[in-house]
Amino acid sequence: MNVFTTDKIRNVVLLGHGGSGKTSLVEAIAYLAGMTNRMGTVDSGNTLSDYDKEEIKRKISIKTTVVPVQWEGYKVNLIDTPGYFDFVGEVEEAASVADAAIIVISAKTGIEVGTKRAWELCEKRKLPRMFFVTDMDEDQASYREVVEGLQALYGKRIAPFHLPIRENEQFVGYVNVIQQKAKRWNDKGTVDKFDVPDYSLENLNICRDALLEAVAETSEEFMERFFEGDEFSEDEIRSALRVGVHDGSVVPVLMGSNTLARGQFTLMADIIKYFPSPDRCKIAGINTENNEVFEADYDFSKPKSAYVFKTIADPYIGKYSLIKVNSGVLKSDDVLFNYHRDAEERLGKIYTICGNKVEEVKELHAGDIGALAKLTVTQTTDTLSTKKNPVTYIRAAISKPYVYRQYKAKNKGDEDKISQALSKLLMEDLTLRYVNDSENSQTLLYGISATHLEVVQNVLREKYKVDIDLLRPKVAFKETITKKADTEYKYKKQSGGHGQYGHVKITMEPSGDMETPYIFEQTVVGGAVPKNYFPAVEKGIAESVKRGPLATYPVTGVKVVLYDGSYHAVDSSEMAFKTASEQAFKKAFMEAGPVLLEPIANIKVIVPDEYTGAVLGDFNKRRARVLGMNPTGEGGYTVIEADIPYIELYEYDTKLYSMTKASGIFSYEFVRYEQAPQEVADREIAAAQAEQ
């Protein structure tokens, strides 16, 4: 791979719904660029982007892949991303280093949920974008419907650059709306120019008007001329489009066929022509020594700095940190400083990465994307810079995982292997995390969706040769009491020689503090229980609250007072008083009106307005209390807020996906504990008794 200067680089993320054609678009471009001898297909499992076994099996993209393409003296870093929300973290990482986006739409299926999400991400990150409509060779393809749908959603910003030409139901050419000329593909792979067919003139005029209206929006002068009926020259149109595409006020629509490798030449030409090189973009960090803003702006002459946007920790290809150079020129054997880890890293060799293949390069200029091997401490979203100019950049916001399952090793003795494998997966995937829930004796694995966790389970089996079971997690119920009880317990044991003797009298009542498991006090008078046994009594209580007598859940909110008892000068011991207090605790607890408490979450669900009724109906079935509904103010979405028991959140992601056709998203957080309804409590108590 050649070394490219900043002005010759384009960093383009491919976004869109799953199955819209992103991976096959990369394949067609790579083929036309001479990177491959023949185009791979998703169905055959031989594409540059989808090389992982799980991707090949499922026929979908799971990971973000960088494919650098050398095209007519330029380097276009194509960043292919997954289309399904299950792997949204990969998309967010990719978007954090992109300077522009191609949103891919299939002409067969039209605008989908993933299309809208891609647009929203571009809006959030202020990315220049184009639409590329694939599958134009298919019978069901309707370019016009796609364009009209985009215009209905996003208004005058949508500027169709092309019109398809079909003859005998074949996709044979296109009309260039800017030039108002028709072009037909020939057997040599180039195009022949010809007059626009009569049947295309009406659509050309419609698209031309839409394009000129988008151009007119770029300046007041153009707007005046547009309304006065002036004609714009081709140079004026292209100049206005460069400005408009860069600032997002114009969004071109192009089209083609990936399977026939048609339309990609024009797409690549327009990427180079209209998308900004990194040196036309802004990026700033903070100098950690003086807290001043460091305006890197992809300037090769400034001190070196780079942002780590992704980590690959694969047992087959090794560990690579994918970086974007934000300033300076990175060279082999540079020593850079990681402010977040307070450590220096020697870079060693520098690579470009294409799918799962790496190629060494001498240097990477500001704005370029590459890979560093075997960095010691550096992790995803860290910054590397010089020690003289220590810089940190804002870490990319990555979606928080809310779906979780209990996991267990299928084979005893695999726990350490599983832990090590998960550590590598966590390094790669920031939307994955695991939690040791010691209170409920379970280990939890969190992800974006049930599908996401199933993929992790399969990767552990295929790549790391360890098997886990994903199980329904235990909900963190708690136990407490509702009234006061007074009881005693005498522990007495004689077995020859010294015996065991401990006798306690206690009262138990609600403490009023539900954040604290227990409060212990003693009011013993006259030495009925010697002071040196008080700690043993409290230790017995501390042990007892870990597993309540009702259903073995942790106890909270109880106050225990030791007020009397007795001891034996020879047979009493700390163990005897600890045992006596444990038994007294159980007895008092069951006499004090024990109840089960269930955790309650505050949930926020964002859905298109047409699905609010379905979500509310489902909430009623899940014992949720709706607190409010508020429009988001954009895109016809509503936020529904409710309180819902944690036990009702199980498999909610799957239900919401089906109810809203994948358009709904949710988040939640713990708010409080409430007394569980009797039928829920009875079910949990019966389950606990069955396990004993």
Query: DSSP per residue over 364-422, as a string?
Result: EETT-EEEEE--SS--TT-EEE-SSS-EE-PPPP-PPP-EEEEEEESSTT-HHHHHHHH
Burial of 380 (0-12, 13-18, 19+ CB in 10 A): buried
The sign of the torsion formed by the CA atoms of 323, 325, 326, 331 equals positive
Strand partners, 50: none
Between CA 112 and CA 117 the distance in angstroms is: 9
Mean pLDDT confidence for 152-176? 90
What proportion of the chain, given as a percentage, has pLDDT over 70? 99
* Calpha distance 457→410 (Å, rounded): 11
Among the ranges given (140-144, 387-391, 669-673), the one the predictor scored with the smallest mean pLDDT: 140-144
The structure tokens 């809310």 sit at 402
Distance, in Å, from the CA atom of 303 to the CA atom of 364, rounded to the nearest integer, reads 14
Binning pLDDT at 50, 70 and 90, where does residue 315 land? confident
The alpha carbon torsion through 388, 353, 101, 663 (nearest 10 deg) reads -110
**Token code pair at residue 438:** 């010691």
Cα–Cα distance for residue pair 66/60, rounded to 1 Å: 16
Asked if 543 and 466 touch (Cβ cutoff 8 Å), the reply is: no
CB 64 within 8 A of CB 53: no
pLDDT per residue as tens digits for the range 645-655: 999 999 999 99
* DSSP 8-class letter at 269: H
Per-residue confidence (pLDDT) for residue 200, from 0 to 100: 86
Nearest to 268 by CA among 21, 72, 98: 72
Residues 6+ apart with CB under 8 A from 233: none
pLDDT, tens digit, 9 for 90 and up, residues 387-413? 999 999 999 999 999 999 999 999 988
- Residue 547's pLDDT is 92
528-565 per-position pLDDT tens digit: 999 999 999 999 999 999 999 999 999 999 999 999 99
**Tokens representing residue 161 in the block:** 């650059």
> pLDDT, tens digit, for every residue of 46-85?
888 877 887 888 888 889 999 999 999 999 999 999 998 9
CA distance 219 to 234: 16
Q: Is residue 439 predicted with pLDDT exceeding 70?
A: yes
Q: Give the pair of three-digit tokens for residue 689.
A: 């008794």
Q: What is the mean pLDDT of residues 229-252?
A: 89
> How confident is the model at residue 527, as a pLDDT?
86
Q: Alpha-carbon distance 90 to 539, whole Å? A: 49
Residue owning tokens 């970086």: 323
Query: What pLDDT was estimated at residue 194?
Result: 87
Residue 447 burial (CB count, 10 A): 26
Token representation of residue 169:
């139901």
